[in-house]
Chains A and B, each alone.
Chain A
Amino acid sequence: MKVKQLSLFLENKPGALSRPVKLLAKAKLNILTLTLADTQQFGILRFVVRDWQKAKQLLEKSGFVVKVTDMVAIEVADKPGGLADILATVEKARVNLEYMYGFTLKSEGKGLLAFRFDDPDCAIAALQKQGISPVGSVELFKRLDG
């Protein structure tokens, strides 16, 4: 039910982002979605690729510090209140949302968002109880192909 995300430590300086991006491109690893967190001095690049093991190995070999985190991909109705419903469910389960970002994918009036919870398993259980089923990586990649 979880999707693996890679996080990368980057210094905040020109060219810092293009190095890892070029490495991935050369290895024909497509970034499915990404987000960038930044401070004045450093940043964290977070992204999802299909073959995360290969990407991790490649980046580490080039000297990057890489962290793997579990994300939960959830379909959210593309209408006012769509996100609020999801959040209400996880809040009730006392799970903290650390950050989130979107996939460009949209189907049948639903958007797809990637959530980072402090306790992903607890969040998934709470969502499933409410009849909301997160999108696992197999399903996710299938949709991206389709």
Chain B
Amino acid sequence: MYMSKHAKELNGSFHPLSAPDFLPLPQLRDLQLQRLRAIVQRAYDGVALFRKRMDERGLTPKDVRALDDITKLPFADKSDLRDTYPFGLFASPMKDIVRLHASSGTTGKPIVVAYTQEDIQVWTNVMLRSFAACGLHEGDVIQNAYGYGLFTGGLGAHYGAEALGATVIPISGGNTQRQLMVMKDLGVTAICCTPSYFLHLIDQAPESGVSIKDLPLRAGVFGAEPWTESMRRRIEADSGIKAYDIYGLSEIVGPGVAMECQCQAGAHIFEDYFYPEIINLKTGKPCDDGEEGELVLTTLGKKAMPMIRYRTRDITALASETCECGRTLRRIKRIGRRADDMFIIRGINVYPSQIETALLKVEGALPHYQIVLTREKDLDVMEVQVEVTPEVFTDTVGALEQLQNKLAKSLESLVGVHANVRLVQPRTIARSEGKAKRVIDQRKM
């Protein structure tokens, strides 16, 4: 079949359904082109907004003859989902749609996404391949602490883990004590949740009499929020597990758009179903290989809601060299920032990930932080609140002030703008069971 020589040599963790991960490139590109042409046709026939935009540009689906022709097509973004709320982008009649999910909708109306039976199968397939990529297999016990419900994380991971043949514990998010009890008592070997929630579990474990390092838990599939490499190192050191980055978004399918393999060198995009481009944020022009820009995705196999050139707002770069694992799928660099998360303070663009990196650079510094922006006398003030942990707390004022200064200096040198560092008591920063809220902007514009 498709399996490359390298893939055959892989250890027992290889799953037969992972075969498309190792397709020779010419075959993969050919498959992508066939699917791209079909999906453009489907969107043109079934989605009024897409057809209108194509017509305005004088384009028809026949104009897509090569993969590069994708750059001629119009972009889509989140506002399209809102403007056509709730069903405007569906390309299938409701009788063919077996599932609806919706985003959390922090800004007004939620966005609604739809799946046909076939879409669910595709999603299950990419989630299964995600788990297999990080070495999980039949016999693993997976604690799925992503929220079940309208959020795509819970059910997406659930279907994939079951299809893999693993034992799924559908615990959903929240109830930290119970999470720890289950982790310990049921022999959990892998967990799915947001990285910030797992940090919270690490924090709470001693109190529940759980020592994560001594449990069979060996892998974490973490996603749904941007996190940094320093945070990964912290998680791995504190818990003794391997922390893998999974990427996805509801508009495209949910989790399972891309996943890290055991090399932990960027997330492989499941390119047979999702076609990636990187574009310049301002000009919208394609970036060179390895250059940073906004990730744009096209669904190659989605029936109910095809997405053509969807602007994710996630900033990353593509690596096309073949990975050591043998997968031919291109990788995206870890997404540490989203164009939407950026805030401007005194004219300087700042991303929460920069703050995180600066804090974790200081030895003994702590992963729980929050950024509060205020305005004093027409001047922006950034306060970074950092929770004090037993590791850094010493009994003298001088040592704490020194820590404060070190953190402030690290922030100023990395971010380029002064921040007031405030040490706060543990657990005073609200923990989220889903995505961590890092920035509180109290400035009145």
Contacts and interface: CB of A to CB of B under 8 A. Distances in A.
Interface of A: 5, 7, 9-11, 37-39, 41-42, 44, 46, 60-61, 63-67, 69, 98-99, 116
A32 B428 CA distance: 29
A118 B363 CA distance: 22
Interface residues of B, number: 19
Nearest to B422: A41
Given A39-B400, A98-B396, 17 more contacts: A9-B393, A11-B424, A39-B401, A41-B404, A42-B423, A44-B395, A44-B400, A46-B395, A60-B207, A61-B207, A63-B425, A64-B426, A65-B388, A65-B425, A65-B426, A67-B393, A67-B395
Given A9-B388, A39-B401, A42-B400, A63 B394 contact: no
B423 A41 contact: yes
B427 interface: yes
B390 interface: yes
Nearest to A42: B423
B389 interface: yes
Given A9-B423, A42-B423, A98-B396, A66 B428 contact: no
B1 interface: no
A70 to B, nearest CB: 10
Interface in B362-409: 388-390, 393-397, 400-401, 404
Interface of B: 207, 388-390, 393-397, 400-401, 404, 422-428
A99 B399 CA distance: 14
A65 B427 CA distance: 10
A64 B425 CA distance: 7
8 contacts: A5-B395, A41-B423, A44-B396, A60-B207, A61-B207, A67-B394, A98-B396, A116-B395
A27 B172 CA distance: 36
A7 to B, nearest CB: 4
A44 B427 contact: no
B93 to A, nearest CB: 54
B395 A63 contact: no
Contacts of B426: 63-65
Given A44-B397, A46-B395, A98-B396, A11 B390 contact: no
A64 B388 CA distance: 9
A67 B422 CA distance: 20
B395 A7 contact: yes
SS of A interface (majority): strand
A14 to B, nearest CB: 14
A40 to B, nearest CB: 10
A5 B395 CA distance: 10
Given A9-B388, A39-B401, A65 B422 contact: no
B400 to A, nearest CB: 7
Nearest to A7: B395
Nearest to A116: B395
B393 A65 contact: yes
A28 to B, nearest CB: 22
A67 B390 CA distance: 7
Contacts of B394: 67
A69 to B, nearest CB: 5
Instruction: Pick the most buried of B393, B394, B395, B397: most chain A CB atoms within 10 A of its CB.
Output: B395
Given A44-B397, A65-B393, A67-B390, A11 B207 contact: no
B27 to A, nearest CB: 56
Contact of B425 (A10, A37, A98, A99): A10
Contacts of A60: 207, 390
Nearest to A6: B395
A63 B390 contact: no
A124 B400 CA distance: 27
Nearest to A5: B395
Nearest to B427: A63
A64 B424 CA distance: 10
Contact of B428 (A11, A44, A116): A11
B139 to A, nearest CB: 37
Contact of A37 (B389, B390, B397): B397
B308 to A, nearest CB: 49
A65 B389 contact: yes
A65 B388 CA distance: 7
Nearest to B426: A63
A37 B400 CA distance: 12
A69 B395 contact: yes
Nearest to A67: B395
